A and B are shown apart, each in its own frame.
Chain A
């Protein structure tokens, strides 16, 4: 029998599983408001796992990225998004393109695919978190699915942000995070992106009186 992994590794696996669980919860959530809260929770778990990796590997710069995540993805972005949703009155998402059980089935398939994909990479990695690379990839793919199957602009942005979470987690598990400059750049990009997309939401609603992006697919006849 294999000896059980160290307690830190177990805890990291648990956090990774929690992130995956939340990804699935987001995939099956119809209410935009709950979706945002779930996103905040995902950020919080990400902070916990990053801090744990920083502590166990003794890396100072990872504490900074954990703090950055805490400020940006747990506090600031959910707050901005909640206010946006309130002002846009977009609490409910319309029915997704594919029904939810089917989406979940696709999700399970993607998890298997992601694990298969990550196997050779994690065999080469030497970090304590190498097992969780598959989960990180799965989170990214699930966020993709969310962006594809949802119709409303707000939920698509949520998918985009969840994907960023997945990428961050992948970076932490494969190579103990990215250089500080890159991370700062990404954080700023995400923040600015959300601001710009928030402005877009208002413009889209002004034009079509709805946030349903299917309206954008029609050609104008003039």
Chain B
């Protein structure tokens, strides 16, 4: 095995790591514009990360090693996920290592760790957040799997690169099942990334918060890693969405550096559009009561199942 594929893989991961905070910044900007506020600069998340990395960490008195370990586990799983998801090219060595089902498992690992760490300190907020996170998570996971099954049925493979190559292949075919799956995927994305109908990303002290409640005890470099990991998670979900629903523009197996450049530009365009749409969705929707969340996610699950049905029964 030569070094060249590994270099390309590393470049892809670095790209994902650097773009993820920018994506968060872009969404924040769009939201601010839509709400008639003056927008924070695009680089704001990066500045926050830098500030946090320079600070000294404070740990709670009774924190166990698990609490200190968790930020690194979170960051590690999200970086690995970024390596698996075909962001700009399909012929990267890591992309073929694990399929989409393993990817769901990877996200679940991260969720278990952050929930355990939140309960570790023993504060009320942490436990509360962890329980809510698990409730949202166990409902979102089957819905996500069902969305994946829609794409798997069409492409006949569970490996993401081959799904992308199959869907982007020239004879352009409309798959009605993917319309259902797309709606379901957006709902899962919002729920899993603590975005508005389920959780408010703009709040830091509120009884109804989920993600923020779990990371309340973290400070400095730990908090920076946790925040960076959640930015990466959103970025990963967005890229998953692109891979399944708008796979065009990705560099395929036998294409030169020019195609990669095109793919990067395409990725930036898609991210820009997705960020604007996310900001719009978040601006027009109000936060759901926590007990409405199961209903929201049940709908996502059923829509994905409907997609499967339409695919099987319509024969299209």
A1-25 vs B, Cβ < 8 Å mask (1 yes, 0 no): 0101101011101101110110010
Structural contact, B305 and A108, CB atoms closer than 8 A: yes
B310 at the interface (CB under 8 A from A): yes
CB distance from A22 to the nearest CB of B (A): 11
Interface residues of A (CB under 8 A from B): 2, 4-5, 7, 9-11, 13-14, 16-18, 20-21, 24, 28, 99-101, 104-105, 107-108, 111-112, 115, 131-132, 134-135
CB distance from B129 to the nearest CB of A (A): 24
17 A-B pairs besides A24-B302, A111-B306 with CB distance below 8 A are: A2-B315, A13-B174, A13-B314, A13-B316, A14-B174, A17-B177, A18-B179, A21-B179, A21-B180, A28-B299, A99-B295, A100-B295, A101-B299, A104-B298, A108-B306, A112-B313, A132-B314
Structural contact, A131 and B309, CB atoms closer than 8 A: no
B295-311 vs A, Cβ < 8 Å mask (1 yes, 0 no): 10011001101100110
How far apart are the CA atoms of A104 and B316 in the complex, in Å?
23
How far apart are the CA atoms of A135 and B183 in the complex, in Å?
18
How far apart are the CA atoms of A177 and B171 in the complex, in Å?
31
Structural contact, B183 and A134, CB atoms closer than 8 A: no
Which B residues lie within 8 Å of A4 (CB)?
A: 171, 173
Which A residues lie within 8 Å of B171 (CB)?
A: 4
CB distance from A218 to the nearest CB of B (A): 31
Checking B176, B183, B305, B309 against A13 with a beta-carbon cut-off of 8 angstroms, the contacting residue is B176
Checking A24, A104, A134 against B314 with a beta-carbon cut-off of 8 angstroms, the contacting residue is A134
Interface residues of B (CB under 8 A from A): 171, 173-174, 176-177, 179-180, 183, 294-295, 298-299, 302-303, 305-306, 309-310, 313-316
Checking A10, A20, A99, A107 against B310 with a beta-carbon cut-off of 8 angstroms, the contacting residue is A20
CB distance from B273 to the nearest CB of A (A): 20
CB distance from A107 to the nearest CB of B (A): 8
Which A residues lie within 8 Å of B295 (CB)?
A: 99-101
CB distance from A163 to the nearest CB of B (A): 19
Structural contact, A10 and B173, CB atoms closer than 8 A: yes
CB distance from B28 to the nearest CB of A (A): 28
Checking A10, A11, A100, A108 against B309 with a beta-carbon cut-off of 8 angstroms, the contacting residue is A108
How far apart are the CA atoms of A11 and B175 in the complex, in Å?
9
How far apart are the CA atoms of A212 and B118 in the complex, in Å?
46
How far apart are the CA atoms of A99 and B298 in the complex, in Å?
12
Which B residues lie within 8 Å of A24 (CB)?
A: 302-303, 306
The answer to whether A11 and B174 touch (CB under 8 A), given A17-B179, A101-B295, A134-B314, is yes
Which B residues lie within 8 Å of A105 (CB)?
A: 302
How far apart are the CA atoms of A100 and B180 in the complex, in Å?
18
How far apart are the CA atoms of A100 and B294 in the complex, in Å?
11
Structural contact, A101 and B183, CB atoms closer than 8 A: no
